Amino acid sequence: MKTAIVYYSMSGNTKYVADKIEEKLNADLIRIEPVKAYPDQGAKKFIWGGKSAVMGEKPKLQPYEFNAEQYDRIIIGTPVWASSFAPPIRTFLHENKSISEKKIAVFACFSGGGANKAIGKMKKYIGIDQFETELILIDPRENRKPENDMEIEAFCSALM
């Protein structure tokens, strides 16, 4: 089964998990980046990112290569912003509506909370009832612990 991991990462947590999953599943890694980067420090990080997430913005993305027809499964990785998935992922989903016909799994990384709400909003946005499997981790790059590795392993095992 051919798998793509599509992710956006600002602080490196989501990238960290995407890389770990890629190692286990030998999937194609597709990093999504907005044309205009969000502030990544201080109060501006939370104000601009949170506003963008709450308002459902879809920022213009840098060019990326993705053809849904090449994949049986799509794994989406997102940070959680204001109890929602990150706006660059919203843009990707908007541009690739046909993925709703694929097997989809999701992982979310967060610091403050709201990951379950974010995943629920993503399901609704895509138009599906459930993901193949879900993974939620709290700052996995900064707080490396054996439990996180075990959860990533279980996530990957559910997809094998």
Topology classification of domain 3-158 = Rossmann fold (3.40.50)
Q: Which of 121, 139, 11 is nearest to 76 (CA)?
A: 121
pLDDT at 54: 64
Mean pLDDT computed over every residue of the chain: 91
For residue 38, is pLDDT > 90?
Answer: no
pLDDT tens readout for residues 63-86: 999 999 999 999 999 999 889 999
d(CA 16, CA 2): 21
For residue 51, is pLDDT > 90?
Answer: no
Taking each helix axis from N to C end, the angle separating 87-95 and 115-126, rounded to the nearest 10 degrees, works out to 20
Q: Which residue has the higher pLDDT, 50 or 150?
A: 150
What pTM, to 2 d.p., does this model score? Answer: 0.92
Q: Are 41 and 14 in contact (CB under 8 A)?
A: no
For residue 34, is pLDDT > 80?
Answer: yes
